[in-house]
Amino acid sequence: MELVRQDGNSVTQSSKPAAVSVRGLTVSYGESPVVFSVDADLPLGQMTAIVGPNGAGKSTFLKAVLSIVKRLSGSVEVFGLPFEAARSKVAYVPQRASVDWDFPTRVIDVVMMGLYAELGLLGRMTGAHKLRARACLDRVGMADFAERQIGQLSGGQQQRVFLARALAQNADLFVLDEPFAGVDAATEKAIVSVLKSLRDEGRTIVAVHHDLSTVPEYFDHVLLLNRRKISEGSIADAFTQSALQEAYGGKLGAAQAPIADRA
C-alpha cells in the first residue's frame, strides 16, 4: 500500500526517488562514533520514522544530515543536491527541550523566524508576511496565542509553535526531532494530521519517533538505528520483530511490542 503515491501511480521499490540520500555517514563527538557508516534513502513524499533506543544517534543523524554537526565521513544529498544547495527547501523542528522557553519573545515572533531565509538581514517585513505567519499558526491551532510570551505555553503548545515556524519556511522536506515528546494527546493528534496533510501535498517528512506502537499508524517508511543502521524500508519490510530485537536488544519491553509483524 505504501508503494502507491497520492497521484495513484504505482512506484516500484527500485525507482522510488529519495528525498534524502545518505552514504557511509559517520559522526563522532569523542573517541567512539555516535553514528557509524549509515546508508539510507528516505523516500520522497513519504513519512519516515527514525527509530531506535536512547543514545542510538537518532538526533545526531538528523543534525549531521542538516550540517548542524560535523560529519566525520560520508555524504548527504537532499533532493539530489548537497545539503547547502537544498537548504532553502528544508525545515527543521528541533527538540522542544533544546531551547530556553524563558526567552523574551512572543509566539508570532518565533513563527516569523521561519521567514528569515526569505527576508535576509534587512528585508522589510510586509503585511503579507505577517498574514502568512498567522496562517501557519492557524494551521496548528494556535492562532489565538500569537501575542503570548512563549514561556506561558504548555509543552504541547510550544511544540505546535515550533511546527508553525517550520511551516512558515514553506519547505519541501520537514525534519522533526521527537515532535511528540512530552506533548498532550490532542497536540499529538493535531501534529500528525498536519504532517499527513503536508505529505498529501507531496512534501517529505522525516521524524525521530519514540513510541513504537504508533509507528505503523503514523509513518510509511522506517529507519531503525542503533549507531549502525539496523533496517530500513517500508513499515512492512523493515519494522519487524527481529529488527526491533536487534535494535533494542533486551531493552524492548512487552509494552512496546510492535504491531508491524501483523502487517
Partner 1 sequence: MMGVEFVQLSLVPMAIGVLAAIACALPGNFLVLRKQALIGDAISHVVLPGIVVAFLVTGTISTWPMMIGAAGAALVAVGLIEAIRRLGRIEPGAAMGVTFTAMFAAGVLVLEQSDTSAVHLDVEHALFGNLESLIWLSADGWSSLADPGALAEIPSELPRIGIVAVLIASLVWVFWRPLAISTFDEGYAASIGVPVSLLGLGVVVAAAIAAVAAFDAVGSIIVIAMFICPPAAARLMTNRLGIQVAWSLGFAAISAILGYVLAGYGPLWFGLDNSVSAAGMIATVSGLLLAFACLFAPHRRA
- CB closer to partner 1 out of 43 and 114: 114
d(C-alpha 38, C-alpha 61), whole Å:
9
d(C-alpha 139, C-alpha 133), whole Å:
10
- CB of residue 147 to partner 1, shortest distance in Å: 10
- CB closer to partner 1 out of 13 and 116: 116
d(C-alpha 61, C-alpha 162), whole Å:
20
d(C-alpha 168, C-alpha 163), whole Å:
9
- CB of residue 55 to partner 1, shortest distance in Å: 18
- CB of residue 133 to partner 1, shortest distance in Å: 14
Q: Which residues bind partner 1 (CB under 8 A)?
A: 63, 66-68, 84, 87, 90, 92, 94, 98-100, 102-106, 109-110, 113, 116-117, 119, 121-122, 149, 151, 165, 169, 175
- CB closer to partner 1 out of 5 and 182: 182
27 backbone φψ class: left, alpha, beta (φ>0; ψ -120 to 50): beta
- CB closer to partner 1 out of 64 and 192: 64
80 backbone φψ class: left, alpha, beta (φ>0; ψ -120 to 50): left
- CB of residue 116 to partner 1, shortest distance in Å: 6
Grid coordinates 530485537 are at which residue? 245
